Amino acid sequence: MRLANFRSYVSAEIVTSGRPVVLAGPNGAGKTNLLEAISLLAPGRGLRGATLSEHTRKGPAPIGALWGVSATVNRGADSCEIGTGLEGTPGGTTRHVRLNGAPAQSSADLGELIQMAWLTPAMDRLFVESASGRRRFLDRLTLGFAPGHARASLRYEQAMRERARLLKYGPRDPAWLAGLEQQMAENGLAIIAERAAVISRLNSALAERRNAGAFPCAQLGLDGDADRMAAANGEGTPDAFREALERTRIRDAETGRTGFGPHVSDLLVRHTAKRTDARDCSTGEQKALLISIVLAQARQLSHMREGFAPILLLDEIVAHLDATRRAALFEEIVALGAQAWMTGTELSMFAPLSGHADIFEVAESRLTRISE
C-alpha cells in the first residue's frame, strides 16, 4: 500500500503479508490517517466521511501536491492494482479511480475488487445518534455481499436530488417527475432488498454463535415505511413505490426533504441475551455488539468467497476490551485469516498477536516494522 500527500503523510509505503496488521503509536502519530487512506480503496468517502480535499496534506512544501493512495491486492494467485486520488482539472480537482492502470467510472467500481468493513471510535455513539450513521454502517456491510449496492445507491440519490430540485425550482413537469420517481423506485427497491438479504444472512450467522464466543449475539432489523411496504407487497412493486412518491410530492416540496424511501430507513439492533435495544446498552456492550456484527459479516463473506475474508479496519479497537475479549478477538481474526488492520496506543496490548501479525510502530507519520 502506498500513499502520497495524504493528511500527515508526505509519502509512505507499507508492505504486508496478508496477516493481521498492528499499528501502534501515540495519539496523533498518524494511525487513523493510514486506515482512512486504506478505506478510500473501497467505494465511498472513507471512514471519516470527509470531503475529498480534506485528505490533501496541509503544511509546508510541497504545497499544491494532491493526495493519492494505491495498493496491490493479492488474493491467492490473483493480483490487481487499485488506486485513487485527486487530480487537477481545468475546473479544479476531481477524484480519479484506477483499476489495473485503467480509469474506472467511480469509486463504486472498487466494490467488485475489495470488501471492507470498519469500526472507529466515532462509531461508539452509533446506536444513540441519528439513523444516518446506522444506515452507513449497514450499507458498508451490504456492499461486501452486493457490490452493485454502491451503484444502486448512487443512481437512487441522483434521481432523488434531481426530483428535489424540480420540486423546489420547477418546472414541476409530471412526466419528468414520474421518470425520476420510477428510477428511485427501481433502485430504492434494489437497495431495500439487498439490505434485507444481508440482515437475514447476518442474523443467521449471529444466531449460529448464540451461545459461543466472547461477543454478544445481536439481532438486526430494518425500520422504515419503504421497508415495510417492500416486505408487505413482495419486492417486485416499483409501481407502489412510485405511487408513494407521487403522493408525497406536495409535502416534499414544502419540507424540502424526501420523506419516503430507503434513505430514511433505520437499522435496529437488539442485544439478544439482554432482550434490550442496543441503544439502551452500555457503551462497552454497544462496542461488543458492533464487533460481533462485523465478525459475523467477515465469517459469512469468507464462506461465500472460498476463504477470502474482507479487510477489516479496527481503529482503537482494543481500548474498550478486557483481556479475555481482546484475546478472543485476536483469535477469531487469526482463524478467519482476515487482514484486520488494528490500531492502538500500547504495543503491549497486541502481545498475543506476536508471530501472527505484521506489527508496525507509528511515530510522527513514519512507520517502523517491529515483527519479521
Ligand X SMILES: Nc1ncnc2c1ncn2[C@@H]1O[C@H](COP(=O)(O)OP(=O)(O)O)[C@@H](O)[C@H]1O
What does the block give as the cell for 120? 472507529
The yes or no reply on residue 27 touching ligand X (CB under 6 A) is: yes
Phi, psi (deg, nearest 5) at residue 108: -60, -30
Among ligand X, Mg ion, none, what does residue 213 contact (CB within 5–8 Å per kind)? none
Residue 60 vs 234, nearer CB to ligand X: 60
Tell me if residue 105 falls in helix, strand or coil: coil
Q: In 3-state terms, what secondary structure has residue 171?
A: coil
Within 288-307, the residues that bind Mg ion by CB under 5 A are: none
Place of cell 419516503: 260
Query: Counting contacts by CB under 6 A, is residue 287 touching ligand X?
Result: no
Instruction: Return the number of the residue (63 or 231) whose C-beta is nearest ligand X.
Output: 63
Integer angstrom CA distances of residue 226 from 164, 249, 271, 285: 18, 15, 25, 30
Q: Contact 33/9 with Cβ under 8 angstroms? A: yes
Q: Residue 195 binds which one of ligand X, Mg ion, none, with CB within 5 to 8 A depending on kind?
A: none
- Say what angle helices 174-208 and 225-233 make with each other, to 10 degrees: 80
**Residue 31 binds to ligand X (criterion: CB under 6 A):** yes
Which one, 193 or 342, has the nearer CB to Mg ion? 342
**Shortest approach of Mg ion to residue 288 CB, angstroms?**
20
Residue in the block written with cell 494511525: 31
- Taking the least distance from each CB to Mg ion, the nearer of 42 and 314 is 314
Q: How far apart are CA 154 and CA 369, in angstroms?
A: 39
Name the nearest CA neighbour of 354 among 316, 314, 327, 323. 327
Pick the closer one to ligand X by CB: 38 or 159.
38
Q: CB of residue 268 vs ligand X: minimum separation in angstroms?
A: 31
Comparing CA positions, the residue from 365, 346, 354, 307 lying closest to residue 14 is 365
| Interface size with Mg ion, residues (CB under 5 A) | 2
51-110 residues in contact with Mg ion (CB under 5 A) are none
Shorter beta-carbon distance to ligand X: residue 8 or 272: 8
Distance separating alpha carbons of residues 90 and 68, to the nearest angstrom: 19
User: Which string of x and - marks every residue 38-77 that binds ligand X (by CB under 6 A)?
Assistant: ------------------xxxx------------------
Instruction: Using CB under 6 A, pick the residue from 3, 33, 202, 271 that binds ligand X.
Output: 33
Sole window of 26-34, 134-142, 207-215, 283-291 interacting with ligand X (rule: CB under 6 A)? 26-34
Nearest to Mg ion of 24, 206 (CB atom)? 24
Residue in 5, 32, 187, 258 binding Mg ion, rule: CB under 5 A: 32
Q: What are phi and psi of 162, to 5 degrees?
A: -65, -40
Among 20, 30, 85, 344, binds ligand X (CB under 6 A): 30
Please give the residues from 1 up to 20 whose contact with ligand X meets the rule CB under 6 A: 7-8
> How many Å apart are CA 184 and CA 64, to the nearest integer?
39
Nearest to 310 by CA among 1, 75, 105: 75
Binding site for ligand X (CB under 6 A): 7-8, 25, 27-33, 56-59
Binding-site ranges for Mg ion (CB under 5 A): 31-32
